[in-house]
Structure 1
Amino acid sequence: MPEKTYILLAEDEAALGQIVKESLETRDFIVDLVDDGERALRLFQEKNYEALVLDVMMPKKDGFTLVKEIRQEDDSIPIIFLTAKSQTNDVVEGFSIGGNDYLKKPFSMEELIVRIHNLVQRKQLQKSSDIITVGGYLFNFPKQTLQFEDDELVLLTHREAHLLFHLIKNKNQVLDRSLILNKLWNSDDFFAARSMDVFISKLRKKLAKDESIQIINVRGYGYKLTY
């Protein structure tokens, strides 16, 4: 059987959203459908999608605002905008904030499917260079997975993956606490800092099978990864 592609579809027109979802599901996609930007962001942060298909005009959080926030957490996931807007400046804005493609309503389902496949396949071509060795673990940043030797894959959340990626980039150096809080949490206040401490604890547990790996708390400055 063909491998299925897991995507998030955010569309506030109920009838259109259901039609697109059902059409994609007949073509080897698994689709989560939401009708507002806030729910889309929550699902994005909770799950591991291979592509996002987002309406621009949505309640609670529009597509452009949503993508600006998503790109702070994940700069590589393929994103396609769906919109009734046709002005050139809207198209330019969509690409400038991190969209990879743009379809104007009404659109052909076949065209949408081809565009999703092209973007996903383009990203998969980078797969071999995306795997980072961390002690005895293999860390796949785009797929947000960890694997210790021949064990099963461990899934990371978006923030866990990005936090680990930045720790690795600064291996044996202190990762500035305020810098990473502002980058991943958009704030360095008390509540964001406590949230980051929780994520660090989760990462320690997920890396615990290799005793050489340590995430050291450098009090007053940040964290340092050693292995």
Structure 2
Amino acid sequence: MNNSQNTRILLIEDDINLGFLLVDFLEANGFEVKLYRDGLSALNGFRLSRFDFCIIDLMLPKIDGFTLVEKIKEIDRDIPVIILSARSMKEDKIKGFCLGIDDYITKPFDEEELLYRIRAIINRTAPRNEATVNNTTLEIGKFIFDPVNQQLTINKTTRRLTLKESRIMQKLVNASGNLVTREEIMIDVWGESDYYTGRSLDVFISRIRSLLKSDPYLKITTIPTVGYILEKIEQNN
């Protein structure tokens, strides 16, 4: 498996042009990227959603990069972090490594070098990531759901899911007959909750319903304006 697959990157860069260039480059190489332009928004986003990797500029509005690294490490001390900064002082690099970062890259930089540094760090931290995905094949009615490989199988027919489909499905399955709110899904999958994200969620729920039609005893019940419940319908003997 490509070591970029399923990796969700939190990118904090206040230079909007560079930020968009990096998003395009990283997404073209298989990563999912969420861009923030200031430290406070990034910290709030990190608290509300799931990320596997952080790329952080130092000179940020509202919360500087060093403080952001420190606060992120308080939440998840093992998450890989690269600092990407125009500041090249030895003292800055030492401070970053003392805070637990994995790499420090100075601007200007080569995109390909950044890519290979990210992949090298992911390879080094793979045991941590693999430990969280053992035994993750799940039975859902007649389906076998593999969230790691984003696959849904029924009667030996396997359908590959998109990353968002897989993450929404996993949230519904993990709730096991209980309500999952729209807000929770949007924040976790998209990193934000607004009107347009809500419309996107509606489309994805419709797709997942279509995928589950092969098992008539499974259904997604909508609680209007609140959320969804994945339910197993009792079979009559």
The TM-score by the shorter chain falls in which range? 0.5 to 0.7
How far is 1:128 from its partner? 2.5
Alignment match, 1:5: 3
Instruction: Pick from 35, 55, 58 the counterpart of residue 81 of structure 1.
Output: 55
TM-score (norm 1): 0.58
- Distance between the aligned counterparts of 2:117 and 2:26, measured in 1? 25
Asked whether the equivalents of residues 182 and 188 of structure 1 are also in contact (C-alpha less than 8 Å), the reply is: no
Indicate how the Cα distance of structure 1 residues 94 and 179 shifts in structure 2: closer, same or farther if over 3 A, else same. closer
Asked whether the equivalents of residues 64 and 94 of structure 1 are also in contact (C-alpha less than 8 Å), the reply is: no
What secondary structure, in the 3-state scheme, does the structure 2 residue paired with 1:208 have?
helix
- Distance between the aligned counterparts of 1:80 and 1:184, measured in 2? 17
Alignment match, 2:138: 132
Alignment match, 2:89: none
Deviations 1:97-131 (A, max 9, x none): 65423311259989765422122343124333322
- Distance between the aligned counterparts of 1:62 and 1:104, measured in 2? 19
Where does structure 2 lack aligned partners over 5 or more consecutive residues? 82-100, 233-237
What secondary structure, in the 3-state scheme, does the structure 2 residue paired with 1:6 have?
coil
What secondary structure, in the 3-state scheme, does the structure 2 residue paired with 1:5 have?
coil
Does structure 1 residue 217 correspond to structure 2 residue 222? yes
2:73 is aligned with what amino acid? F
Deviations 1:110-161 (A, max 9, x none): 9765422122343124333322221222223344332334323412233x33
Alignment match, 1:104: 104
Asked whether the equivalents of residues 47 and 157 of structure 1 are also in contact (C-alpha less than 8 Å), the reply is: no
What secondary structure, in the 3-state scheme, does the structure 2 residue paired with 1:217 have?
strand
Indicate how the Cα distance of structure 1 residues 84 and 198 shifts in structure 2: closer, same or farther if over 3 A, else same. closer
Alignment match, 1:226: 231
How far is 1:214 from its partner? 0.8
Instruction: Pick from 142, 150, 153 the counterpart of residue 144 of structure 1.
Output: 150
2:104 is aligned with what amino acid? K
Instruction: Pick from 75, 92, 104 the counterpart of residue 70 of structure 2.
Output: 92
What secondary structure, in the 3-state scheme, does the structure 2 residue paired with 1:129 have?
coil
1:92 is aligned with what amino acid? E
- Distance between the aligned counterparts of 1:147 and 1:225, measured in 2? 17
Alignment match, 1:18: none
Q: Summarize the alignment of residues 194-213 of structure 1 with structure 2, pairs less than 5 Å apart.
A: 194-213=199-218
TM-score (norm 2): 0.56
Instruction: Pick from 161, 170, 174 the counterpart of residue 175 of structure 2.
Output: 170
Alignment match, 2:86: none
Alignment match, 2:129: 123
Q: Summarize the alignment of residues 20-59 of structure 1 with structure 2, pairs less than 5 Å apart.
A: 35-37=18-20, 40=23, 49=31
1:36 is aligned with what amino acid? G
Asked whether the equivalents of residues 38 and 61 of structure 1 are also in contact (C-alpha less than 8 Å), the reply is: no
Asked whether the equivalents of residues 151 and 158 of structure 2 are also in contact (C-alpha less than 8 Å), the reply is: no
Q: CA RMSD in A?
A: 4.6
